[in-house]
Every structure is written in structure tokens, then in C-alpha cells.
Amino acid sequence: MKMPELKIGHLISRLPIIQGGMGVGISMSGLASAVANADGIGVIAGAMAGICEKDVTTNGLEANCRALAREIRKAREKTRGILGVNIMVALTHFTDLVKTAIAEKIDIIFAGAGLPLDLPAFLKKDDRTRLVPIVSSGRAAQLICKRWFQRYHYLPDAFVVEGPKAGGHLGFKAEQLDDPAFCLENLVGDVVAAVEKVEAQHGVRIPVIAAGGVYDGADIHRFLELGASGVQMGTRFVATHECDADPAFKQSYVDASKEDLMVIKSPVGLPGRALRNKFLVDAAAGTRRPFRCPYHCIKTCDPEKSPYCIGLALAAARQGKFKNGFAFAGANAYRVDKIVSVKELMNALEQSYDMATTPVLEPA
């Protein structure tokens, strides 16, 4: 059985697969365009998009917006497929990055790490950019729908519901991460039920996309059966040739064991899932000292109390310099055993989906 298409507004993706946005240079134009060319939805990360700009520490607003615009244009030169950007609500320059993405005519803006309650305010009459909030509960989805419709007469074009097995910063309390009540299967059902009420009330279609721990075609099939219209995957796309990170960053996934996955307390005030290394062990032991903040990238980060700069740490890891940083990773990162092309990965996902949906014939 073939995977169904994913429709978000006027956009139609042949495969219901969205590549998750991975910040500080992991998913930029190279990875996003490759995924779009492979019939998925490629996503450029807005978080510290300007990490390589010379003036990022002195003129962060302009540097990050300039870099994001350039990455969108570079991706457009490589593909006619669907492209999105992921812009965290918690980013200091959230508003300006959203305006930049819309001005560059990006297809979709994915917005999480906070509730994007005013996101439609940035759209002008003829803008075609679709707006997709990232939530972790049906309650959050209902609140966004109510706020957007009351203020802007606009409803989300889709929702991504992200569970606790995702990599990076997680929108859950530490004690919720292993609580079965908060597993992605339950969250998808909760958000689908909430969205169905909105759909019935307004006569619209709002697809729900499952994210966080989705690894293969069998997972995709399972979440589609639960009412999702598609999935978002981040970890699987790190170990691809087209990923924008250093080869050493990708190899850290291949080399990881299950025991290497750990949940950290991030300087931004949220739990996060990452690959254990000496940098994180030292941070947990309190051997690192508070720092001066060079970027001011996240609103909730307190340099006076933080043992390290999350921006510097992730920037170092992107370059494969793990002495000064670490890699965020999803709960299934240890299952990655080789680096492949995006096309090979997408083909493998289609094949495993087909296997999961093919009835097993009983012997006569």
C-alpha cells in the first residue's frame, strides 16, 4: 500500500513526511531542499540561522534574518518542492524571523516552543504562507484555534503534535517524559479529537501531524491509523549525506548506544534529550561556570545562572567539536546504523510502510 498524500492548505506533498527543523545549523537549505526533492516537506531551522555570520554576536537580529532569507533562497534554487521554516516562539527575534520568512514566500511556518497566539497577524492579504503551530495537547490546539479565529478570522492550516520522545528541547515536565499518559499515541488522539470539533464547527480540514520518536514506516502507519495525516521526523534525517552538520555530528548518531541517550536540564529552562558526552557530564556535575551570553537567542535563558551557553554548545557540536558542545537527538537515535542519502531514506520509509500495510497471508 502506498503512503497517502499530505495536504496542508493548497500544498500537496506526495509523501506525508515532514523533516523536522533542527536548529543552530543542522537543517538548513541543503537538507531541506533534498527532502523537498524527495517528495517530502523540507524544513529550514530558524533558531540561530545566522550562526556563521561574522556579525552574529554584535548584530544578531540582522545576522539571523539575513541568513534565514539567504537559506530560503538557496533552497528555492535547488527545488520546486515544498519548503518550510521552523521558528521557535521563544526566540528573541521570533517576530522578525517570521516576517522574513513570509517576505521570502516560504510555503509553511512551523512554530512551537511556546504558543504562537498572534502568528496570523503577520500575514497580509495575498500571502500564501501556511501556518502550522506545534503543540503537545488538545487543550493547546483548541486555545490557538479560538484565539486565531476571534482575532484574525483564521484557523491553523495544520497542527504538529510533538511527543516526549523527540530530540532537542521538550515541551514537558521532566516527570512526564516517561509517563505513559503522555505518550505520543495518546497525545495524537487528544489533538485529533480537539481538532475534529473545530473542523465540524467551521467546516474546514485541519490535518494533524505526529512527531517525536517516529522512526520507520511501521510507525508512520500506526499514527495514520490513529488519525494523524502525516508525521514529522528529525533524528532520521541527521544521518544523511545532505544534512548540513559536520560528518562527525552525523557519526555520533551512528556510534550511539541506547545508554547514551540522556535528558538534560537546558539553560533555556526546559528538559532536552541529547547524546551523553563529557561536556554534558561536566555540566551536570557543576564543573562548568556561568558565562557571558554572546547571542541572547532565547528569551528564557538566564546567563547568570546557566553553566554554559546553549548557542555556543550547539554551534560547536554542529562543527563536530564535541569538547565544547553536544548533540541533541531523539529517543531512537541509537537505532541509526549508517549514513545514507535522503532519497535512500525516503525509499526505505516507503518500503517499510508498504510492509506494515501488506496483509500476512496464512498458509493454506
Q: Which residues contact 63 (CB under 8 A, 6 or more apart)?
A: 50, 53, 55, 56
Residues 6+ apart with CB under 8 A from 226: 185, 188, 189, 192, 210
What is the C-alpha separation between 2 and 350, in angstroms, rounded? 7
pLDDT score recorded for residue 283: 86
pLDDT recorded at residue 306: 73
Q: Closest Cα partner for 156 from 166, 146, 165?
A: 146
Per-residue pLDDT, 343: 98
Q: What residue ranges define each of the domains in the chain, with the CATH number in brackets?
A: 6-245+337-357 (3.20.20.70), 248-324 (no CATH)
pLDDT of residue 171: 86
Query: How much is the pLDDT for 295?
Result: 58
> Could you tell me how far CA 79 lies from the centroid of its own chain?
20
Residuewise pLDDT in 10s, the chain (364 residues): 899 999 999 999 999 999 999 998 999 999 999 999 999 999 999 988 888 889 988 888 999 999 999 999 999 999 999 999 999 998 888 999 999 999 999 999 999 888 999 999 999 989 999 999 999 999 999 999 999 999 999 999 999 999 999 999 888 888 889 889 999 999 999 999 999 999 999 999 999 999 999 999 999 999 999 999 999 999 999 999 999 999 999 999 999 999 999 999 887 778 899 999 999 998 888 775 656 666 566 666 666 667 777 888 899 999 999 999 999 999 999 999 999 999 999 999 999 999 999 876 666 6
